[in-house]
Amino acid sequence: MDPCPVVYLRIILKPVSDIINENLRCLGKPLPPSTIPINSDDVSFSGEYSFSSDFITKALEGEKTSLEYDIVLDWHGADPKSVYYIDVESRSDFLAN
């Protein structure tokens, strides 16, 4: 038995294009909605969505280096004199970070 401390080390190197094509292949869930209708002052909205590798590849065509995805709150009834609390939470796996 070796009395020295043992360290397990694993290094993985891959081109980003391979990671997108292999690990982010998500066809089962839709994109997040581009518009969320707000019909009252007390709203809760949630769901599971995915950005497929096809979407990411298309969104990063050309010289783009970052991905942006806007979600519009369709909130026609908002009182412009009121102050609202908006809490947005997201959760993802480590590949999406």
Per-residue pLDDT, 48: 86
Per-residue pLDDT, 97: 44
3 state SS for the chain: CCCCCCCCCCCCCCCHHHHHHHHCCCCCCCCCCCEEECCCCCCCCCCCCCCCHHHHHHHCCCCCCCCCCCCEEECCCCCCCCCCCCCCCCCCCHHHC
pLDDT per position as a tens digit, 66-82: 888 899 889 888 888 98
pTM to 2 decimal places: 0.58
pLDDT per position as a tens digit, 8-39: 888 877 777 776 666 656 666 888 999 999 88
- Domain coordinates of the chain in residue numbers? 1-97
Say if residue 20 is exposed, middle or buried (CB neighbours under 10 Å; 0-12, 13-18, 19+).
buried
Among 44, 47, 25, 35, smallest CA distance to 76 is for 35
pLDDT per position as a tens digit, 34-61: 999 988 878 888 888 888 777 877 888 8
